[in-house]
Structures are given as structure tokens and as C-alpha cells.
């Protein structure tokens, strides 16, 4: 360690799979702090063993954080050097720590970032989708109706969207995304940096079908490209096309036809078609 470690809270990023994805500075900090707060101490032990570290380590996770926080803050106020790590990647990113950092900041305790891996950024960079602007959406609600409502709030965001998803829900989530966003380009990054790392890139409506049954497990990130403003029709164009299609087609086939052309989600086209039919 080049200079003594200052008192404060250290947010240390750890690997998302490959145990060698850890910075030299992270190793320095984990080797010199007074205490490491870890989401799962057994998981962290694997990391410590791989790098010959023997820090004092205690559990800090969503179930005990409210109880532990006050004691940790007290120790920090007395000048302790404490690191926070999660099971994988950057702490606080869909992981515990936000309230601890907020309270530390409020009390004037120094908080230091020790940056490193995060699955969101790793997936975004390999997705081959625009990286100049992106929106990190974290985990979606588990139930379909709530998930679709959540997705609808993201429809008009003019940037790539990054989602964490569990393998148990990936199929249903991709189907909901295809319904709400239409056939936007997308990517699914699975088991990044690990032995069975895989990456699929396809329009949202085809992505689910590409994933073999035996790969619907492991850790996954879904990246969805931004809406294509060049191919997306405005509402007047959509309504005009629907009016014409509805003169000689059923509601369903009119909606299918216009959805194919307009670059909007089927759901949105369907809603407009219903409005038109009611007002005619
Ligand atoms: N704090 C972590 C980070 O910075 O990436 C994320 C923690 S969150 C509880 C765990 C989710 O991250 C997983 O469900 C998955 O969506 C994603 N994830 C973590 N590791 C991954 C990996 N190696 N490959 C793909 N996705 C991963």
C-alpha cells in the first residue's frame, strides 16, 4: 500500500465471475481495511482465498442492513476504515449499500469508490448497441402485469436500456419486452467472464427463441437498443394507416399490418386502433 489508508467507507467492486477481474487497488484496500462488510461472507471467502487476503469480514445484506447500519456508522465516526463489497460487481448497483452511503455522507464520513466490474457495463459494451446514452433499469417486477407497466415507462427513453434478469423469468420478460418495445435490436449477455459465457444479439421478438433450453440458467443481462427515430412513425401517420387498414381488415390483422411498418410496439398500435374504432 503506497500510503496509509484514510479513515472512511470504501465501496469496492469485485469480480462478476472471473476471480482475476479485480483491481490492484481493490486488493490493497481489502488487505488493509479494519473490516469488510460482505453480502455473503462464504462467497467472499473464495475471493479472499484466491488472492491470499485475510480480512476481518462480517455479513451486511438486505436482511440485516437496517440492524447493522448504526453500528457500522458509529465505527466509521470513530475513524475506522471499512470496505463494502457485494457478491459480485459494484456494490449498490442492484445490491445493498445505498442507505449506508447516504447516511455516511450526511454525517460527513468520507466515502471512496474503488471502481471495477459491473455486469451492466460489461453487457452494454459487448451488446453492439449504442453506448453513448444508456438507461440502467435494474430488475423488473416479477409479475407480468406490473412488468409491462414498468416497461411502458421506458418506451420513449431515447437511449439503450439495460436490465438485470433472473433465468426463471427470462422467457416471460423477453416476451413482455417484445410486446411493449416492438422488434428493437437487443442482446442477452449470459454468464459474463465465466466458463459458459454466451452472447446473443437479435431483434427482441426473436431473442427468446435463440436461447437453447439448457442455457436458460445462469446470470443474465438484457440490453435493448433505443427506439429508431428514423423509422418510427408519428401518431397521425399511424392513425391514418390504421383507418385505411380497418376499412377491409379485422382489428387484429390491421394492427399486425401497421405494427410491421410503423416501428412502434404492437401494444401501442393496438391501443390506438381501439381508440379509433370507438370514436368512429
Ligand atoms: N452489483 C452487481 C453489478 O455491479 O453488476 C449486480 C448485482 S445483481 C444482485 C445480480 C444480477 O447482475 C444478476 O441477476 C445478473 O442479472 C447480473 N449479473 C451479475 N453477474 C453477471 C454475469 N457474470 N453475467 C451476466 N449477468 C450478471
- Please tell me the predicted confidence (pLDDT) of residue 279: 84
CATH of region 120-224: 3.30.950.10
Alpha carbon nearest to ligand 1 atom 11, residue: 164
- Please tell me the predicted confidence (pLDDT) of residue 213: 84
- Residue written as cell 418495445? 181
- Residue written as cell 435494474? 138
Position in ligand 1 atom list of the atom nearest CA 165: 16
The widest CA-to-CA distance across the chain, in whole angstroms, is: 78
Alpha carbon nearest to ligand 1 atom 20, residue: 16
To test the ligand 1 pocket, which listed residue (89, 126, 163) has its Cβ within 8 A of the most ligand atoms? 89
Please write the tens of the pLDDT for every residue from 41-97. Answer: 999 999 999 999 999 999 999 999 999 999 999 999 999 999 999 999 999 999 999
Average pLDDT over the chain, rounded to an integer: 93
Pocket residues: Cβ below 6 A from ligand 1: 16-17, 86, 88-90, 93-95, 118-120, 164-166, 189-194, 219-221
To test the ligand 1 pocket, which listed residue (12, 13, 14, 16) has its Cβ within 8 A of the most ligand atoms? 16
To test the ligand 1 pocket, which listed residue (164, 190, 195, 218) has its Cβ within 8 A of the most ligand atoms? 164
Q: Are 84 and 9 in contact (CB under 8 A)?
A: yes
- On the 0-12 / 13-18 / 19+ scale of CB atoms within 10 A, 165 is buried
pLDDT of 163 strictly over 70: yes
- Residue written as cell 475506522? 80
**Domain spanning 8-117: CATH superfamily:** Tetrapyrrole methylase, N-terminal domain (3.40.1010.10)
Instruction: Kindly state the average pLDDT of the residues 231-247.
Output: 84
- Compute, in angstroms, the gap from residue 119 CA to the centroid of ligand 1: 5
Determine the length of the chain.
280
Amino acid at each position: 500500500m503506497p500510503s496509509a489508508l484514510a479513515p472512511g467507507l470504501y465501496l469496492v467492486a469485485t469480480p462478476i465471475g472471473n476471480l482475476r477481474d479485480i483491481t490492484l487497488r481493490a486488493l490493497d484496500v481489502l488487505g488493509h481495511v479494519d473490516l469488510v462488510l460482505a453480502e455473503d461472507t462464504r462467497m467472499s471467502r473464495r475471493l479472499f482465498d484466491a488472492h491470499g487476503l485475510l480480512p476481518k469480514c462480517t455479513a451486511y445484506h438486505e436482511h440485516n442492513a437496517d440492524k447493522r447500519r448504526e453500528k457500522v456508522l458509529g465505527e466509521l465516526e470513530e475513524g475506522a476504515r471499512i470496505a463494502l463489497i457485494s457478491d459480485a460487481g459494484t456494490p449498490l448497483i442492484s445490491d445493498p449499500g445505498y442507505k449506508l452511503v447516504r447516511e455516511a455522507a450526511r454525517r460527513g464520513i468520507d466515502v471512496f469508490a474503488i471502481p471495477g466490474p459491473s455486469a451492466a457495463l460489461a453487457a452494454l459494451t459487448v451488446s453492439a448497441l449504442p453506448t453513448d446514452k444508456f438507461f440502467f433499469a435494474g430488475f423488473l417486477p416479477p409479475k407480468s402485469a406490473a412488468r409491462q407497466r414498468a416497461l411502458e415507462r421506458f418506451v420513449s427513453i431515447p437511449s439503450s436500456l439495460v436490465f438485470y434478469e433472473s433465468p426463471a423469468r427470462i422467457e416471460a420478460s423477453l416476451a413482455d419486452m417484445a410486446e411493449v418495445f416492438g422488434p428493437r435490436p437487443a442482446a442477452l449477455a449470459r454468464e459474463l467472464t465465466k466458463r459458459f459465457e454466451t452472447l446473443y444479439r437479435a431483434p427482441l421478438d426473436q431473442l427468446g427463441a435463440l436461447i437453447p433450453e439448457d442455457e436458460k440458467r445462469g446470470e443474465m443481462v438484457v440490453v435493448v437498443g433505443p427506439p429508431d427515430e428514423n423509422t418510427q412513425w408519428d401518431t397521425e401517420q399511424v392513425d391514418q394507416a390504421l383507418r385505411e387498414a380497418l376499412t377491409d381488415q379485422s382489428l387484429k390483422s390491421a394492427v399486425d399490418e401497421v405494427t410491421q411498418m410503423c416501428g412502434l410496439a404492437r401494444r401501442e398500435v393496438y391501443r390506438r386502433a381501439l381508440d379509433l374504432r370507438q370514436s368512429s
